[in-house]
């Protein structure tokens, strides 16, 4: 390029944001680091915008020299509360929940969670958790809720498929949550025996099968995306599933919990709070005592666990990459990546040169990326079409 000729540099910026982020791109071009007539700077600002999604801008720059363009990017990550919450209730319908005989020839007892006056502990726990979601939910938040009951096997016919909050609330009744499979027909069925159902109609008995319910839960959660929270409500004593139902049930629960990086498994113990064996079983399944509550404290469980937490970005994972359409990649130093306020993290790259070949446009792509507390990558991408080639004849 001869001296004195005008060089046209076309920069087109496309900002691509992840699902949980909305940003906009702006050009400032304040020339902070111009060091000679043939060197010019260009600043790009990728800032938060709660209403817009992917945006594009373009700018045309004209200089009179063989020009090198130095770029610096400043921007912000502002996580919006749009994560999809999937709540799954796993509800024990085994015979020990209602009127039953603990052992042959022993007297009948009321059970660990009998239906009384049209309600039960399982129902009240679910109501408290759902109400907490309603109270915490913001306008842009989304939640789906489902329920799977189980006894000797899973009762698919009585399950509630994933529904919106309002639709699921319609199902919060004794007919869905306060039922149990009777040991035999002598106990009678609902309404004579409130909540009692005939398991033979579903091909199962009144046993408690943790293995089957956790395997079913794994299949359900494998088909959905979003933050997953499961509430396992039982009396903590599996009696069916594998050669050793207790160990098999614990193993199945732990496998389910470890299958998903974005899943929290919480358990509620029904019945006698002094039953240390039942409590220990649920503690092993949940992974710690902080994930176990008794049904009488369902509101406490809801307030501590069912929330829409703000995304937390791990500042240590912030980094930037420079990519060319030719396939070349190079790291770009970040001057800083820091939290700048509630739900806002800011960054700035070190200055770097755009690459052009003087013949055709070259795509210069800059990716600024970080990870949230769950290890999920979040990124903003700036693509610059850089053209420096033909001389533009001056107008007399």
pLDDT in tens, 285-309: 998 888 888 765 544 544 444 443 4
Angle at 109 between CA 108 and CA 113, to 5 degrees: 140
Q: Is the pTM here over 0.75, yes or no?
A: no
Q: What span, in angstroms and rounded, lies between the C-alpha atoms of 136 and 126?
A: 16
Q: Please list the ranges in the chain whose pLDDT falls under 50.
A: 1-37, 49-65, 81-82, 298-299, 301-309, 389-396
Boundaries of every domain in the chain? 6-79+313-392, 84-305
Identify the helix (H) or strand (E) that includes residue 314: strand 313-324
pLDDT at 230: 93
The secondary element (H helix, E strand) that includes residue 251 is: helix 245-259
pLDDT of residue 336: 92
The separation between CA 343 and the C-alpha centre of its own chain, rounded to angstroms, equals: 16
For 105-122, write each residue's pLDDT tens digit.
889 888 888 898 898 888
Cα four-point dihedral sign 248, 254, 255, 257? positive
Look at the block and give the residue holding tokens 């006894």. 151
Confidence (pLDDT) at 44:
59
Residue 209's pLDDT is 96
CA-based torsion, 237, 241, 245, 248: positive or negative = negative
Query: 376: closest CA among 162, 79, 143?
Result: 79
Residue 177 has a CB neighbour count (10 Å cut-off) of: 27
| Superfamily (CATH H level) for 84-305 | von Willebrand factor, type A domain (3.40.50.410)
User: Closest Cα partner for 95 from 171, 175, 185?
Assistant: 185
């Amino acid at each position: 390029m001869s001296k004195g000729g005008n060089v046209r540099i076309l920069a087109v910026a496309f900002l691509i944001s992840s699902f949980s982020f909305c940003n906009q791109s702006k050009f400032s071009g304040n020339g902070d680091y111009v060091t000679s007539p043939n060197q010019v700077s260009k600043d790009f600002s990728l800032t938060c915008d709660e209403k817009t999604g992917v945006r594009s801008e373009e700018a045309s720059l004209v200089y009179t020299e063989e020009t090198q363009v130095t770029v610096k990017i400043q921007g912000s990550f502002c996580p919006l509360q749009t994560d999809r919450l999937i709540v799954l209730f796993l509800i024990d319908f085994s015979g020990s929940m209602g009127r039953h005989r603990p052992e042959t020839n022993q007297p009948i007892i009321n059970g660990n969670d009998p239906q009384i006056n049209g309600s039960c502990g399982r129902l009240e726990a679910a109501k408290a958790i759902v109400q907490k979601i309603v109270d915490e939910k913001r306008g842009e938040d989304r939640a789906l809720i489902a329920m799977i009951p189980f006894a000797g096997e899973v009762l698919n016919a009585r399950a509630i498929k994933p529904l919106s909050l309002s639709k699921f609330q319609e199902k919060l009744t004794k007919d869905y949550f306060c039922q149990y499979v009777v040991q035999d027909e002598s106990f009678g069925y609902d309404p004579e025996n409130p909540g009692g159902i005939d398991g033979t109609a579903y091909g199962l008995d009144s046993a408690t099968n943790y293995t089957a319910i956790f395997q079913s839960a794994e299949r359900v959660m494998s088909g959905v995306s979003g933050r997953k929270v499961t509430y396992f409500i039982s009396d903590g004593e599996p009696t069916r599933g594998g050669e050793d139902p207790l160990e098999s049930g614990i193993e199945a629960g732990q496998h389910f919990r470890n299958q998903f990086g974005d899943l929290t498994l919480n358990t509620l113990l029904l019945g006698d709070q002094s039953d240390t064996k039942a409590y220990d079983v649920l503690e092993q399944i949940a992974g710690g005592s902080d994930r176990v509550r008794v049904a009488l404290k369902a509101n406490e469980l809801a307030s501590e666990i069912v929330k829409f937490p703000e995304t937390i970005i791990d500042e240590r994972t912030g980094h930037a990459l420079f990519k060319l359409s030719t396939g070349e990649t190079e790291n770009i130093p970040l001057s800083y990546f820091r939290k700048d306020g509630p739900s806002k993290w800011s960054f700035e790259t070190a200055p770097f040169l755009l690459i052009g070949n003087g013949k055709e446009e070259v795509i210069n792509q800059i990716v600024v990326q970080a990870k949230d507390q769950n290890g999920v990558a979040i990124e903003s991408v700036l693509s610059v079409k850089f053209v420096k080639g033909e001389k533009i004849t001056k107008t007399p």
